[in-house]
Amino acid sequence: MVFDFSKYAKTYIPWEDPRDSPVLHHIQPRKVSYYIVEGSRGLEMTASLDPANNQNGSPNGGSNEGNQDGKVYTLNVTRGYDNDGFNKGDGDALGAVMKPPRELTDEEASLQGKFKLSRKEKWRILKNVTIISTAFMIQFTAFQGTANLQSSINAKDGLGTVSLSAVYAALVVSCIFIPTFLIKRLTAKWTLCLSMMCYAPYIGAQFYPKFYTLVPAGVLLGIGAAPMWASKASYLTQVAGVYAKLTDQSVDGIIVRFFGIFFLAWQTAELWGNLISSLVLSNPHGAHGGSSSNGSIETYDSCGANFCVMNLNNNDNLARPDDKEIFEISGIYLSCIVLAVIIIALFVDPLSRYGEKQRRASVVELTGIQLLSATAYQLKKPYQQLLIPITVWIGMEQAFIGADFTQAYVSCALGIPSVGYVMICFGVVNAICSLLFGSVMKYIGRIPIIALGAGIHLALCTWLLLWKPHPSNPILFFVASGLWGVGDAVWQTQINGLYGTLFRRNKEAAFSNYRLWESSGFVIAYAYSTHLCAKMKLYVMLSVLVLGILMYVIVEILHARKVRRQKEKERQAALDEARNRPPEPEETDDEKDDIDDDIIVTHL
């Protein structure tokens, strides 16, 4: 008779003193002797059940002597399982005790296309996310502060808006050709450093603002901006996947949380950049708005939705500040660019630490034309096509608050020195909401947050069409700016996170397309800036926003259906496995990243 001992499959039977084994303790009350031999089924334990022979059992069947019923019970201790504690191939009856399988070295893991990480690595990941966010905050302290003033300090012949249009036009072209190529050549970290340096010439051109200095510098900035944003987004999305693996959390929630941290810091650049400009301009040289508060009603009637660039010379509030003040501001901003690059170069870990090389190991090196095709191929995906209008809207709404709102509402009614203070409100609210929405998303989901942003911007655009700005009610400028910051925080965190979730296998191409269409929104807004009055601009923006929301709703419906199909396939696969049937082949999913299978979590 053979006992089924499968429940003790992994139990170690000590050779020196087998009586200590829980296997033997299980039958101890019933046996009188036992021994272990190499039987026909492998290692077996034979025990006589005769209490009279409790001593000196015979390995040759002698335990059967004196047994009242004449039965000898043999327990198979190897059948149906493998005891990892023994090596049966060394000639010993039981074999020598083996050590547990050793852990892979870094070199061996790398050769197998994997990489090892400790649980403590999550703190290093958070450090890298924080440093990148801080560097971008310093970088855009300079750029945002400069960009917000372009439509006011370089208003003659539309030089400021033309230079900004050149920035984003170059960014559109750069999004198609450069990010994937540059990231493959330099890796994400050094692409960040090189791209961020491209911002320096544009800031330097403020010392001598002409079409032949500002516009070429703007083109260079646009060329560098695309790979900068693509490498940043790729870095955050990649380390978010690793962090989620280390902490056993949802990848979607971690991606949005990391983007929320990033945009918290990034949006505070509005605060610091505008604070610098306002403090410098708030002196007798720049106090043009102080004497105009008693201006005629006709002067303020031309502000707000009725503002047109043709009326520029009729308002003293829009006069250019003194050159010394502009030079001082530009010098501070130029220092910020250099500092941001140094921070990235010295303190950010290369993405190769988190699987950049493993993820690219199977990617064939592409030519320039193939790179263009790879980036353009992303446009064939239905999700990408449906997200184009809302992505264009993101660019348009940022261009409006940074150029049209500051010029048509703030500068026209309050004066150029007030631009910085009003935009500080935008930056502070934007930063707080970016962090808030990034954390709240995992509890309430993405859809309610995007619905909030859409409702706020629809209401604000309608109000700005009706509002008559006047310096007697300065609080309304801050209310409009703050609410616009709430809406912008929604788009920046949720749509970036949505791209990271839907296109995890093709991060660079996806975020290049994001920047492509966001930049298109900037170009469109800046292109008609000098040709349309503020009222028409608001009508155009309302149309794009409504179209973008409708297309986004379709994306969510399609995505929900896809998730349901995947869950049904997983359920069916589990049933097939239980019935020993081969499951259906798994379809390639753009939302899954191969890097999830290449992480070895070490437990120290």
For 126-142, what is each residue's pLDDT tens digit?
999 999 999 999 999 99
- Confidence at residue 73, expressed as pLDDT on a 0 to 100 scale: 45
Q: Is 37 helix (H, G, I), strand (E, B) or coil?
A: strand
Asked whether the predicted pLDDT for residue 19 surpasses 60, the reply is no
267 shares its domain with 405: no
Burial per residue of 200-213, b for 16 or more beta-carbon CB atoms within 10 angstroms, e otherwise: bbbbbbbeebeeeb
319 shares its domain with 407: no
338 shares its domain with 377: no
Contact criterion met (CB below 8 Å) for 167 and 180: no
Structure tokens at 440: 């709240």
- Confidence at residue 248, expressed as pLDDT on a 0 to 100 scale: 84
Domain that holds residue 444: 368-575
pLDDT in tens, 526-577: 888 888 889 999 999 999 999 999 999 999 999 889 888 888 888 888 887 7
Determine, yes or no, domain membership for 358.
yes
Q: pTM to 2 decimals?
A: 0.64
Of 365, 381, 406, the last residue of a domain is: 365
Q: Pick the residue with more confidence: 201 or 32?
A: 201
Query: Percentage of the chain with pLDDT > 90?
Result: 26
- Residue 223 sits in a domain whose CATH number is 1.20.1250.20
CA 393 to chain CA mean position, Å: 20
pLDDT in tens, 72-85: 444 444 444 444 54
CA 173 to chain CA mean position, Å: 23
Q: What's the CA gap between 223 and 458, in Å, rounded?
A: 33
- Confidence at residue 596, expressed as pLDDT on a 0 to 100 scale: 52
Q: Which long-range contacts (CB under 8 A, 24 or more apart) does 318-321 make?
A: 318/152, 318/155, 318/407, 318/411, 318/412, 318/416, 319/288, 319/416, 320/152, 320/153, 320/154, 320/155, 320/156, 321/153, 321/281, 321/285, 321/286, 321/288, 321/416, 321/417
Of 302, 332, 365, the last residue of a domain is: 365
Contact criterion met (CB below 8 Å) for 360 and 486: no
**Residue 296: pLDDT band by 50, 70, 90 thresholds?**
low
pLDDT in tens, 327-366: 999 999 999 999 999 999 999 988 888 876 655 554 454 5
Determine, yes or no, domain membership for 70.
no
Q: Pick the residue with more confidence: 116 or 467?
A: 467
Contact criterion met (CB below 8 Å) for 26 and 11: no
Asked whether the predicted pLDDT for residue 111 surpasses 80, the reply is no
389 shares its domain with 403: yes
378 shares its domain with 321: no
- Confidence at residue 599, expressed as pLDDT on a 0 to 100 scale: 54
560 shares its domain with 512: yes
Structure tokens at 190: 């050094």
347 shares its domain with 462: no
Q: What's the CA gap between 159 and 153, in Å, rounded?
A: 9
- Confidence at residue 270, expressed as pLDDT on a 0 to 100 scale: 77
Query: Percentage of the chain with pLDDT > 70?
Result: 70
Q: How many domains does the chain have?
A: 2
Determine, yes or no, domain membership for 298.
no
130 shares its domain with 268: yes
Determine, yes or no, domain membership for 583.
no
**Residue 65: pLDDT band by 50, 70, 90 thresholds?**
very low
Mean pLDDT of 473-494: 92
Determine, yes or no, domain membership for 100.
no
Determine, yes or no, domain membership for 80.
no
Q: For the chain, what is the mean pLDDT?
A: 76
- Three-state SS annotation for 183-202: HHHHHHHHHHHHHHHCCHHH
Of 342, 365, 388, the last residue of a domain is: 365
Asked whether the predicted pLDDT for residue 490 surpasses 80, the reply is yes
Determine, yes or no, domain membership for 247.
yes
Mean pLDDT of 222-247: 88
250 shares its domain with 383: no
Q: What's the CA gap between 153 and 317, in Å, rounded?
A: 11
490 shares its domain with 404: yes
**Residue 604: pLDDT band by 50, 70, 90 thresholds?**
very low
256 shares its domain with 374: no
Determine, yes or no, domain membership for 377.
yes
421 shares its domain with 351: no
Q: How many CB atoms lie within 10 A of CB 12?
A: 15
